Structure formats: C-alpha cells, structure tokens
Structure 1
Amino acid sequence: MSLIILLLNLLQNYFVMNFKIIGLGSNLDLENSLGNELIQIFESHEYNKVHIITAFSSLSAVNGIISLSKENKISDLTIITGIDQKGTSKEALEELLNSTAKSYIFYNPSNIIFHPKIYFFEGIDKIKVIIGSSNLTSQGLFQNMETSICVEVNKNEDLSLIKDLTQNFSSLFDLSDKNLKEISKELIEELSKLDIIPNEIDRKRSYSKSSIREKNNREKIISLFPKRKSAKINQKFKKSKFIESISDIEEDIAEVDFLDNNKEEILVWKSSALKERDLNIPTGKNTNPTGSILLKKGETENIDQRHYFRDEVFNNLDWTKDKTHNHIERALATFKIIIEDNEVGLFTLKLSHNTDIESVTYKQKNSMTNISWGKAKEFIAKPELLGKKIELFKKEDLFILKIN
C-alpha cells in the first residue's frame, strides 16, 4: 500500500483533479474492478503505449492483456513481472515470451520482495496511470478485495506527478535495472530447474484455500466467517491454453461456486488402475498415444460398459452424429479436474460414442465410449499418475473427475 500513500501525497501536492478510486471493495454490485477498467482503457483506442509493472503474473491474466493489446493494436507493450514467492507461473512467462510484448523478469536474490503494481498508459494527448494492490492475475484484477488509484493527465498540463513516478522507478521504465532480465526460453528453463518459478498448477495450489485440512473444517470455518459472493471474471481473462472458457460457469481458482451449492455429488464411475494408454504415455512400439481414455467398467459394479456411459452418465448431453462416420456420436461436457486433491481447472472435453451394435467391439463387450483429453492432456500424461484411479462424480450437468 506504500505506493498508494505516495500517490495520495503527490495528488495533494499537485492537486490533480482527474483521478478516481477503482477496485473491488465490499460492494460487488459496483463491478468496479481493475480488470474491467483495463478493458475499457484498451478498447478506448486512446493509448498506443502500455507499460505494466507487476509483482505476480498468472497465465490467464497475461493471456487477457496480450489479447487486448493485439485486438486494439497497441504498438508498444512492455510487461515487467516479479517472480517472488512463486507468484508467477512458468506458463505465464512462456505466454509472454511467445507474444509481441517486450517482457522482463525482475528478481532480487535477497529477502527483499519486488511488489509494485503499476499500469501506465500513454497516448498522443494524455497519460493514464493506475497504481494499487492488484497483481496481473485474474483474481487480482477481478475478484480479490483490492484498491487502486487511477490518474489521468493531459500532456499540456503539469506533468510533475508523472515525472515523480517515472523518476522513482526510472530503472524500470528505461529498462536499465541490473536485476531486470529479458524473458527467454533459456531463462525460463533455468528458473524452473532452480525451483524459483512454479507451473500453473502449483501456483494455484500455493494460493488456494482448498487444502484438505480446511475442507475438513469447512462448516466450522463458515460459521466463523460466512462465504461471500465472488465477482465475475471477464471472459477475456478466463481463456488460456489449458482452461476452457465456459459462458455459464464462473471460475474461481480457490474454489468453484458449483462445488459449494446444495446439489449432491454422485459417484458414477470408478476406474481400474490407470495405465499408459489411459494417460497417453507412450512406452513402446505397441503403446500409441491416442489422446483419449476408453470408459471401461473398471471397479464399477453391475453396469454394461457398452451402454452405461452414453445412456446413463452422459445421457443429458447434446449428442450429434459425426459427419464422416454416421455410427459415431459426439458431445461436449464440462469437467472439473482434480489431481491428488489439487484443483487443476475447468475443461470442455469431447466425448465419442460408437453406436454400431454389429461391430466386433460391441459383440466382444468392449468399451464403446471415450473421452478425449484435449487441452487437459498436459496435466494427465504424467508417469506419476500410473496406477492411480479415476473417480467420476456427476453434479447436475457438471462432472468432477478426481485422480487419486
């Protein structure tokens, strides 16, 4: 909060009139998040230069900023992110590397933490600066209780405030700081090997309140501190290379609302011990990564695996015939995937069902239904999951897939 105090003092000194408070407080109905403010700024087309300095970055938020910059033809985008306290993921850095942004990492190996949050926009006629508590993460921009001050200054007015800001952080604006390193593939790999940056799953895990201990004490905790409604994350900041955006589901990294409603989770299937083919891990000439898992009987009793999944588990999905193979039906379903008690995210996965009852597969009573892992594959194809089992729960039209 020291940056906010600094800015308030500067405002008093220079009496800048065009400023406002933004951020989520106790009134969620205001929809007054920094994320929504950033979207409006980008889409205003009034600025061509953007300079972001943030302590932490997540994949979804970086993806949102990059998309906004591309859609609105920002010619000059610079993003500096810290990596302290495992607050920035490897995937977020890779997203920055693969973008057109000039991207840098700031890191100090001492105990001093890099903690600023500055969003600087410059156009032909004016400059807009936002300083506050929100990191470049989807929760920080849309859901956490955060506060920021937004200041707009015309270039023909007194720019003392802007000069004070850029001088205080001069080495981060002119990119001369010795602790700044331009993001590269080699740097990312080295930081990953040194265990300084986590993958996106571990980043979420470290900031999640969904620990086993807390889940076991959930009723007691809620009796002390009641649940609060979460604000919505804009769709632009929910899309990522591994988390599908679903229009009628609002995702919260720490917890998903549908898991906390009064509907019961019903166990509909338990697999046998997972093998290489199930997890798409090729081990030899006879093991091909198909990208999918066949839904077999497993440890679920009294079912016919040829019909059970299509006719009972996934019967309410919108099934359509494949245009090329008329005996194949396709459908999409929403899955929340949890691996060893760690929530990975929400995925829209494709299901396929073979309706040909004259086929050899059917007559041999083999599985006729499969799930394609799609963008979840990078979390599934892990040797450490061999021998574990899947439990599939149904909760209305949503499915929870747990691997333990």
Structure 2
Amino acid sequence: MQGLSEENNHFDSIIRLLELNEITKVIISTAFLRKSGLLLIKNHLIPHVDKIDFYVGIRNEITSAQALQELIDLGINPFIVDTGSSDIIFHPKIYLSISNCNKNARTIIGSANLTKRGITGNIEASIVADLNLDNNFEDINILSNINNSFENLKLKFPENVVQINSSEEIAVLLSQGRISDENLKTYISKQEDLENEPEENSRETIQSYIPKIKLKLPKITSNQNNKEASIATRLSKLNNSFELTGISNHEDIIPAGCILKWESTPLKERDLNIPQGRTTNITGSMTLRSGLSKISNFQSYFRNDLFADLHWAHSSRVSSSHLEVATAAFELIILGTNHGIFHLEIKHDPRKNTASYLQNNAMSHLRWGAAAPYIKSRELLGYTLKIYENSSGSPSPFVLVIS
C-alpha cells in the first residue's frame, strides 16, 4: 500500500517491472494519464517502445493532450479507450512486462493511475505478482487472461478503442473536448481566470460517431419484496436526513459570478427525452414552465427576460415559421461533472391567440441538440435542472446544472 512508507510506492515497482531482462512485451493500462506521471518513468520506457501496448482512458476530463503527445514523441502509439459515455469509465490500472529470460513475467494490478500522484503521492494499493511461465499453468493462465482481455476489448469495440498515431489526431481529440489541456486550469479552479474559450460546437459531433459502449453487467436484484420508492422520493428522504445533521447532500459546482435564474420541477421522462413506450414521441426538447422558481409570467419570461439579449429570428421551416428561435452557449454540469460547452437552441411561440396560450401552457422550449446523449439517462429522473446566468460570460453566458 503506497503512502504508509517510503519503500512502498508504485514508482519503484513500475521501474523494477521495466527492468526485467530480455523483455518481449509490455502492457500498460491506465484510466487517467498526465504528462508529469509519464515523465517519471520515461527513461525506463524508451528501451521498450516497440514492445509496448499502451491503453489509456479518455472522456474523463483528466487524460491530457500533453501526455498523449509525450507518448507519440517517445514512439509509442497508444490505444485510447472512449466508452462513448461520461458515466462509464475505462478504469483498469495494469502494468505488465513479459521476459524471455527464465520465462517469467511481472504484473502490477491495483488502483494507481499513471499520474504523478498516482504512482508517488496518493494512498494507492496494488498486488505485484511474479509469474512463472515455465510449465506453471496457473501463472500462464493469468498472463493469457490479461492478454486476451485487451485483445477482446479491441475486437469487440473497434469504434471505442482506437490507436492514435499523430499529433493531428490528438489535436482533434482536444478540440472535441474528449481530452484535457494541461495548460488550462481544471474546472474546480476559478473559471474567471480562463482566457481560452472552447471552440464553437467543439463537442457537438462527439456522440455522433462514438457509440456508447455496451457492457455485459451483472443483474443485481433487491431482496426486498416491495418495489423501491421512486428516485424523487428517495432523494427527498436523503435531503431530510442530511438537513437534520446540517449537511447538504449536494453542493452545486458552478463558476464564480453565476446567478440562479430558474429551476425546474423534478425531471421526468419527457424532460429527459426518455420514451416510456415505443410509440412515445421524442420531442428532442424540454418545455420551460414555471418550475420550482414559481415564475408567474413564465409564458414570456424566457423570451423577454432570461434570454432577451440573444439574437432571435423566425424559424426557417415553413411548418413552424411562426416560432422565434435563438441559440445560446451553455456550460453543462451533471451531478458535479462538467461536460463542456454546448450551443443549444431555444424556441418560443410569441402568439397570444392560440389555445395553448389561453390555457396557460408553456410557450418556450429548450432543444437538447448535441447535449441529448448526456441527459438521456433514467438515473437523472427526480433531479432538477437549474439555469444560471454567468455575469462574466466566460466560458459561456449560461450554465445548466442537473443536481
């Protein structure tokens, strides 16, 4: 266990693993990769660059462009693993080297990512195993399972596991928001200090060609006879219990200078565009009503107050030419995770002589667009959506928070 003594650390264990004699193959798998961690073992990787299979997770807001570039500069072409969903993480931390000398191998399997703190600073735990490959079938089977697992990963999910070969490919990943930039502060830093705004529509094409990975997961059933209470009910109970002890169950992580402008009622299937049945119409949008904010003039609030400064124009579609349409940049934060900037469309029906208006129905809608894959989750049922206005306008004038 790293952190209890200076002698037990992953850095030394990885170095010993890479110093085996006559190494024929190396496998390194890490969820998160930073340049600082890579530089610590760089000189020990160089003798084996043509023998290394390197797997690294992306779409996790930690793996960086600089770290991937360092691998390319070393002559290592890594396999990036993009699960196609921010709620599924590629998470195995495995270091393995196979030696032709004495037919042996060494592996480290545990919790340490290839970051500076992961291999030197955090409290991390792993098992280091020396494998005897000379007629020891148990050890041979362990090695085979490790090898086959990664080969099957590439075979089953070719769109999710892709080898990177150039700086140009890294630049594309960065522009799409699938990897981070170590030159920028992390999201938990003060956002007003960020000067580099993400490129327009930088994330809007990610989900179109990276399918959500389909895992075979165990089915876990409850021993209780009664059905679980709804998510909203359980959240309510949690809120009440936490409030009794003075603890908040969730603190919204938002940029400084943001002002809450509206909060929805607990989100339902229609809000999240999750059909209850095959015949249910998916609108692609969320209706903007009074919400928990109890806005009395909600029929005009979104058009004439909250989003009044946007550039509004009539819809170009003949069938909906009566609608006014505008686009705004929103920073999307779901359950504390920042998914970046999305340019989303707001639609408003200005007519006051329609049955909908006279029946006091909502006249404004927020289209999910490229953000749809992030909000189409039953796990979000019962939470609320908040719209904040960012007074600084950086990195976007509005922030959407589901919490």
TM-score between the two structures when normalised by the length of structure 1: 0.46
